[in-house]
Structure 1
Amino acid sequence: MKEIKAIIAAYDKIDPTLTRAALAIVVRVEGSSYRRTGARMLVLDDGNWIGGISGGCLEGDALKRARLAINNSEATLITYDTSEDDPHQIGVGLGCNGIIDVLFCPLDFNDPNNPVELLKKCLKANRETHTLITITELKRELTGIKKGYCFQYNGMDTLEEFENLKIQESVEKLIKKQIASQKSGISTIDTANGNCLTLFIELLPPEIHVVLIGNQYDVFPMCRLLKEIGWRVSIVANPLKLNPKIIILADEVKSPAEFQNMPIDEHTAIILMSHDFKTDKINLPKALNTTSPYIGMLGPKVRAQKIWNELADEGFTIHEVDMMRIHAPLGLDIGAVTPEEIALSLAAGIKAAFAGRDGTFLKYRKLPIHQRS
Structure 2
Amino acid sequence: MSVSELLAIMEGAAAAREPLVLGTLVRTSGSTYRRAGARLLITKEGVPVGLISGGCLEPQIAKTAREVLATGASRRLRFDMTGENDGLIGFGLGCRGALDVLLEKIEPWRLNAETRRLLCGMNSAEAPRALVTAFEAPPALQGLLGTVLEKEGDADAPSSAMALREAAHGLAREALATDRPLVRALQLPEGGIECFVDLVPPAVHLTIYGAGPDAVPLVSIARQLDWRVTVVDHRPAMCDPARFPGAERVVHAHPENVVPHVPTGRHSAVVVMSHNYFADLRLLPILLKLDVAYVGLLGPRRRGEQLLREMADEFVPTPEQLARLYSPVGLKLGGDTPAAIALSIAAEIQAVLSQSEGAHLRQHDGPIHLSQPEETHRKSA
Same fold (TM over 0.5): yes
Letter in 2 for 1:135: A
- 1:162 deviates by 5.4
Asked if the contact 2:293/2:324 (under 8 Å) is kept, the reply is: yes
The one of 145, 148, 151 equivalent to 2:149 is 151
- 1:137 deviates by 2.2
| 1:289 corresponding residue in structure 2 | 289
Give yes or no for the alignment of 1:351 onto 2:319: no
How far apart are the structure 2 equivalents of 1:303 and 1:209? 26
The percent of aligned pairs where both chains have the same amino acid is 28
Closer, same or farther in 2 for the Cα pair 1:140/1:243, shift >3 Å?
A: same
Give yes or no for the alignment of 1:182 onto 2:179: yes
Closer, same or farther in 2 for the Cα pair 1:76/1:287, shift >3 Å?
A: same
Asked if the contact 2:10/2:108 (under 8 Å) is kept, the reply is: no
SS of 2:265's equivalent in the other structure is coil
- 1:138 deviates by 2.6
Within-5 A mapping of 1:1-373: 3-14=2-13, 20-85=19-84, 92-112=91-111, 117=116, 119=118, 123=122, 125-139=124-138, 146-151=144-149, 163-164=162-163, 168=166, 171-193=168-190, 195-237=191-233, 238-242=235-239, 245-257=242-254, 258-262=257-261, 263-312=263-312, 314-371=313-370
Q: CA RMSD in A?
A: 3.0
Asked if the contact 1:108/1:114 (under 8 Å) is kept, the reply is: no
- 1:11 deviates by 2.5
Asked if the contact 1:186/1:201 (under 8 Å) is kept, the reply is: yes
How far apart are the structure 2 equivalents of 1:50 and 1:296? 35
SS of 2:76's equivalent in the other structure is strand
| 1:157 corresponding residue in structure 2 | none
SS of 1:308's equivalent in the other structure is helix
How far apart are the structure 2 equivalents of 1:10 and 1:121? 9
- 1:124 deviates by 7.5
Choose 19-28 or 93-102, whichever is displaced more.
Answer: 19-28
How far apart are the structure 2 equivalents of 1:47 and 1:140? 27
Choose 36-45 or 266-275, whichever is displaced more.
Answer: 36-45
How far apart are the structure 2 equivalents of 1:115 and 1:106? 18
- 1:47 deviates by 2.5
Number of aligned residue pairs: give it: 360
Letter in 2 for 1:191: L
How far apart are the structure 2 equivalents of 1:85 and 1:177? 38
Closer, same or farther in 2 for the Cα pair 1:18/1:300, shift >3 Å?
A: closer
Choose 264-273 or 234-243, whichever is displaced more.
Answer: 234-243
Closer, same or farther in 2 for the Cα pair 1:181/1:86, shift >3 Å?
A: farther
- 1:164 deviates by 4.9
| 1:156 corresponding residue in structure 2 | none
Asked if the contact 1:27/1:185 (under 8 Å) is kept, the reply is: no
Asked if the contact 2:3/2:120 (under 8 Å) is kept, the reply is: no
How far apart are the structure 2 equivalents of 1:8 and 1:36? 20
What 5-or-longer segments of structure 2 have no aligned partner?
151-158, 374-381
How far apart are the structure 1 equivalents of 2:22 and 2:170? 28
Asked if the contact 2:136/2:193 (under 8 Å) is kept, the reply is: yes
How far apart are the structure 2 equivalents of 1:363 and 1:41? 28
How far apart are the structure 2 equivalents of 1:266 and 1:44? 35
SS of 2:250's equivalent in the other structure is strand
Closer, same or farther in 2 for the Cα pair 1:266/1:141, shift >3 Å?
A: farther
Higher relative contact order, structure no. (Cα contacts within 8 Å, ≥ 6 residues apart):
2
Asked if the contact 1:33/1:54 (under 8 Å) is kept, the reply is: yes
- 1:73 deviates by 0.5
Choose 88-97 or 129-138, whichever is displaced more.
Answer: 88-97
SS of 1:336's equivalent in the other structure is coil
Letter in 1 for 2:197: I
What 5-or-longer segments of structure 1 have no aligned partner?
153-159
CA-to-aligned-CA distance 1:229-268 (integer Å, 9 cap, x gap) = 2211110113422455324331101222552113322211
- 1:24 deviates by 0.9
SS of 1:226's equivalent in the other structure is helix
Closer, same or farther in 2 for the Cα pair 1:123/1:18, shift >3 Å?
A: closer
